Chains A and B, each alone.
Chain A
């Protein structure tokens, strides 16, 4: 199985190289980012999953401690929210950790033709921080609603309120990184007499 994965990886690199050489940048972006996402999920996700879950629990726990609303058992990726006669254990699981969003953002960024390597590195770090903080705030909001309104509000808090909050920040991040920047650059680019391409 490992051999198969390594062969797939080599084939993917070769395809990227061919698409680069032939100037098919759109296909390079699509195959490159999807392939990178696949390999990151295969090799990196198992490594960072647990530390990320713990980090999210710990960061959300800092807010919980500060406002004295809930406790964090970050070693077990659990937030414990006592509310009157019920207590809710919120488990920070795979889908809750934000690992998929972080990897997808990174993959698209690294194959996006606008930025150079240093810019991508900086934007990637900022993007990771934004996604992480958005996720922590989302969890904090869910816990806050449960703390004040009980477990009955969990479905609304988690499925509607929390997600709308998280998606709004994600959309803003994607817009700033992928849309707004290149519109500005293209406007500024009209003053450029040289070749301003960064994807060659």
Chain B
């Protein structure tokens, strides 16, 4: 019993040694109309046709956690600089849905930040929200969130997400996971170990001992 207690104590010390606490908030996005959360996130270039000049490319970033998909759009510097009310699709491995972005109205030549509603296109339910910012001489910038429950009742199970904005360009913004299928790996390992163990005890059994 002493040995077991000793091992448990060593285990508890090891737990203490690997107790990191500063990671929980890494990667979180606040949908608040400030876009600094997106500065260091990867963006996909979105456009139509042959690749145009850099100033005519829209930038879209998709980020996700267990329950929500976050989207950031930076319109191109030239050409279509204003974000329109947009239709877009989201395909996942747990289902697909079409959405419509409805921008709160802003008077012509007005600057500032206003709200966005994300509607399900088929029944017009509001499922998400966000903000967009329009400044004179600048291209529009927007961020919004879509809860994954609008696609499936089991948002944890969503691994692959592809979003497409036909109003902005032909590219899919793809966000995928690549699980190892861990329980299969563990099951294979367990079978090997149990067979080894069975062999080990069989050889140790007095009937087999030489």
Contacts and interface: CB of A to CB of B under 8 A. Distances in A.
SS class, residues of chain A in contact with chain B? helix
Nearest to A20: B4
SS class, residues of chain B in contact with chain A? mixed
Contacts of A166: 180, 185
B155 to A, nearest CB: 13
Q: Which of A73, A113, A142, A158 has the most CB atoms of chain B within a 10 A radius of its CB?
A: A158
A114 B200 contact: yes
Interface string A107-150: 01000111000000000000000000001001100100000000
Interface size class of chain B, counting residues whose CB lies under 8 Å from the partner chain:
35 or more
A171 B186 contact: no
B63 to A, nearest CB: 7
A105 B179 CA distance: 17
Contact of B197 (A29, A183, A190): A29
Contacts of A73: 40-42
Interface of A: 13, 16-17, 20, 25-26, 29, 43-44, 47-48, 50-51, 54, 71, 73, 75-78, 80, 85-96, 98, 100-101, 104-105, 108, 112-114, 135, 138-139, 142, 151, 154, 158-159, 162-163, 166-167, 170-171, 174-175, 178-179, 182-183, 186, 190
Given A51-B23, A90-B177, A98-B180, 5 more contacts: A26-B201, A95-B182, A163-B181, A170-B185, A170-B188
Interface of B: 1, 4, 8, 15, 18-20, 23-24, 26-27, 40-42, 44-45, 51, 62-64, 159-160, 170-186, 188-190, 192-193, 195-197, 199-201, 203, 210
